[in-house]
Amino acid sequence: MTRLGSGLLAGLKVTWRNLVRRSVTQHYPDVKPELPPRSRGVIALQEENCTVCMLCARECPAWCIHIDSHKEVTPAEVEGGRDRSHNMLDRFAIDFSLCMYCSICIEVCPFDALHWSPEFEYAEHDITDLVHEKDRLREWMWTVPPPPALDPAGEEPKEIKAAEIAAAKRAAPPPPVDPAGPQ
Amino acid sequence: MSETPATERAADLRAVTVGIGDGAAGFGHERGGGVDLATQDMVLNIGPQHPATHGVLRLRLTLDGERIVTCEPIVGYMHRGVEKLFEVRDYRQIIVLANRHDWLSAFGNELGVVMAVERMLGMEVPVRAIWIRTLLAELNRVLNHLMFMGSYPIELGAITPIFYAFRERETIQQVMEEVSGGRMHYMFNRVGGLKEDLPAGWLGRTSAAVAAVRSRLPQIEDLVFGNEIFRARTVGVGVLSPELIHAYGVSGPIARASGVDLDLRRDDPYLAYQELLDDGVLRIVTRSAGDCFARFDVLLEQVKVSLDVADACLTRLHELPQGPVNVRLPKILKAPEGSTYAWTENPLGINGYYLVSRGEKTPWRLKLRTASFNNISVLPQLLEGRVVADMVAILGSMFFVVGDVDK
């Protein structure tokens, strides 16, 4: 070791250098953090998309999703038709005191009814208030950001491919009518 | 010295290491206060709730004055029974639990599970996924080490370094959050690859973050490493011999600080580490002193290496052709009957997953081998004959996470 105290001085130099610079601390309640769109803050429910398939409730590793539903029957529209039955959502609740924020429910939802929102300011004084019923979950939908664009080196999403094929089909002229067709 | 029985060795140790650190010079010690003074041993509980421990590790110390006669770590206050919980969860749900036992290296924990399942299935992971996994694992290592580089000086009474460490952590956490959505529990691995692709422009932002952390790392170095007080508290304190390391299965940076040169990234390469090793980017950091200072020094050096590795991964990701980051999985994923053992070099040491499957969608057994458990089991040997003040320095330098100990 060199001179005694030189190590302390080197440390003080770092302190001094940072003392005269702008601080990096954000004053949270006054300055809101900028969160990326993938941020897992709260789960929002697009109620209209939910078909009560129960996949989210079954796949949840913490079993924190509660779903109640009943069946409604629409009578047949035409004579001799069949009656159609639909699942009607009565209750959709997520208990955020149990939720582990793993995003499995969002991943398994086949109809994109569940989404992440980066909102995080929903702390409560009473733990039971952390159960968000479907009205509250629906309200979170307004805070869901659009997903970020993906890296150009990534694989093209299969939706684009499907849309392109559909567009090509629509744009292409209808197949020529066979001259020797039915007469 | 390792052949002598423990009691004899302890007596030896007391006789030899009377002066620990320069401050203890002339501090003679005789068991029980000598012939003139009859004293009694005192039992002191450090923890489970104590500011000098991390989390809920409890140490039951028997003290003779200031000196520790025996130390008994009592673990299990945070036992959550994850191994049993694994048995009733499918492989995607296991990742949720697995990334939580060591909350400072969530990405590394996820890796072990998915690698074990992929090996059982004989699944090929897309090349882009391999490089992104390597990149994120190394960033995770940086995050973990920065945490300990900040918290260890706090235990020794230096409050400032943690603010510097957390500024760097925040820089990297931002890019981790952007890609995975989580700041600690990333949940970004899936069997066969990753959850989703990178956001556009993320590679550039990560390069900037890595460069920023690298440029500011010397500040932490200047703040702590030359500091005379820090050196006096750590140099020559808590020397861990390679024999003890082999006897207790200590691994990771702690083992390498004592010259036990074992790093699975080199010795059993997984992900893209073989290529990084061939390119000379991945260097294995070792020290020979084996004291608290050497352990801390290894952390700093590993951060530097990990940042270099992250840069190499970023360069490679720019060059790689267009391709997927995951493979399509069946609706119900079942590992075939059999067993496998996957181990990874987690930031804190060797992390092993022994997976036994009977062809169900849940594992029949998933045994977890965590680094922290072995790393703290050596504590009784290390603390015997030391003074209480050194206990804090030694305990802090064993770099463990209580969740990783108790599982």
Interval A68-92 mean pLDDT: 85
Flag if A36 and B167 touch (Cβ within 8 Å).
no
Residues in A closer than 8 angstroms to B227, CB to CB, are 7-8, 11
Encode pLDDT of B35-82 as tens digits. Answer: 566 677 788 888 777 666 667 888 888 888 888 888 888 888 888 888
The span from the CA of B49 to the CA of A147, in Å, is 43
**B308 and B351, same domain (yes or no):** yes
**B53 and B110, same domain (yes or no):** no
Predicted local distance difference test score (pLDDT) of residue A82: 84
Predicted local distance difference test score (pLDDT) of residue B17: 40
User: Which of B74, B97, B128 is the endpoint of a domain?
Assistant: B74
* A103 shares contact with chain B (CB less than 8 Å): yes
* Domain enclosing residue B19, as ranges: 5-74
Q: Is the pLDDT of residue A8 over 90?
A: no
Peptide bond preceding B380 in cis form (omega within 30 of 0): no
Residues in A closer than 8 angstroms to B226, CB to CB, are 6-8, 10-11
* A92 shares contact with chain B (CB less than 8 Å): no
Predicted local distance difference test score (pLDDT) of residue B24: 44
The span from the CA of B347 to the CA of B309, in Å, is 14
The span from the CA of A181 to the CA of B362, in Å, is 60
**B173 and B129, same domain (yes or no):** yes
Residue A152 within any structural domain of the chain: yes
Interval A55-80 mean pLDDT: 87
Predicted local distance difference test score (pLDDT) of residue B29: 53
* A120 shares contact with chain B (CB less than 8 Å): no
Residues in A closer than 8 angstroms to B187, CB to CB, are 101-103
Angle between the N-to-C axes of helices B161-180 and B202-224, in degrees from 0 to 180, rounded to the nearest 10: 170
ipTM of the complex, rounded to two decimals: 0.77
Predicted local distance difference test score (pLDDT) of residue B38: 65
| CATH, residue A105 | 3.30.70.3270
> What phi, psi does B58 have (nearest 5°)?
-115, 130
Q: How many CB atoms lie within 10 A of CB A68?
A: 12
Q: How many CB atoms lie within 10 A of CB B279?
A: 11
Q: What percent of chain B has pLDDT over 70?
A: 89
The span from the CA of B358 to the CA of B353, in Å, is 16
Residue A148 within any structural domain of the chain: yes
* A26 shares contact with chain B (CB less than 8 Å): no
Q: What total number of domains does chain B contain?
A: 2
Residue of A nearest to B331 (CA): A108
Flag if B228 and A101 touch (Cβ within 8 Å).
no
* A59 shares contact with chain B (CB less than 8 Å): yes
Q: Among partner residues A35, A40, A104, which is closest to B92 by beta-carbon distance? A: A104
Predicted local distance difference test score (pLDDT) of residue B36: 63
pLDDT (tens, 9 = 90+) of chain B, 407 residues, equals 344 455 555 445 444 443 344 444 444 455 555 556 667 778 888 877 766 666 788 888 888 888 888 888 888 888 888 889 999 888 888 988 888 888 888 998 999 999 999 988 888 899 989 999 999 999 999 999 999 998 888 888 888 888 899 999 999 999 999 999 888 889 898 888 888 888 988 999 999 999 999 999 988 888 888 888 888 888 888 888 999 999 998 998 999 999 888 888 888 888 888 888 888 888 888 888 888 999 999 999 999 999 999 999 999 988 888 888 888 888 888 888 889 999 999 999 899 999 998 888 889 999 999 888 988 889 888 888 888 888 888 888 888 888 888 88
**B44 and B99, same domain (yes or no):** no
**B195 and B336, same domain (yes or no):** yes
Flag if A151 and B198 touch (Cβ within 8 Å).
yes
Encode pLDDT of B377-405 as tens digits. Answer: 898 888 888 888 888 888 888 888 888 88
Residues in A closer than 8 angstroms to B325, CB to CB, are 154-155
**B394 and B330, same domain (yes or no):** yes
Q: What total number of domains does chain A contain?
A: 1
Q: A113 or A181: which carries more pLDDT confidence?
A: A113
**B41 and B90, same domain (yes or no):** no
Residue A13 within any structural domain of the chain: no
Chain A closest-CA separation from residue B215 CA (Å):
13
SS (H, E, C) chain A: CCCCCHHHHHHHHHHHHHHCCCCCCCCCCCCCCCCCCCCCCEEEECHHHCCCCCHHHHHCCCCCEEEEEEEEEECCCCCCCCCEEEEEEEEEEEECCCCCCCCHHHHHCCCCCEEEECCCCCCCCCHHHHEECHHHHHHHHHHCCCCCCECCCECCCHHHHHHHHHHHHHHCCCCCCCCCCCC
**B252 and B345, same domain (yes or no):** yes
Flag if A5 and B228 touch (Cβ within 8 Å).
yes
The span from the CA of B263 to the CA of A29, in Å, is 44
Predicted local distance difference test score (pLDDT) of residue B22: 44
Q: Closest Cα partner for B275 from B309, B321, B320?
A: B309
Residues in A closer than 8 angstroms to B231, CB to CB, are 1, 7
Angle at A180 between CA A179 and CA A183, to 5 degrees: 100
B391: Cα within 13 Å, side-chain hemisphere: 29
Of the pLDDT bands very low, low, confident and very high (cuts 50, 70, 90), residue A154 is: confident
* Structure tokens given for B35: 């012939």
The radius of gyration of chain A's CA atoms, rounded to the nearest angstrom, is 28
Q: Are the CB atoms for A49 and A112 separated by under 8 Å? A: yes
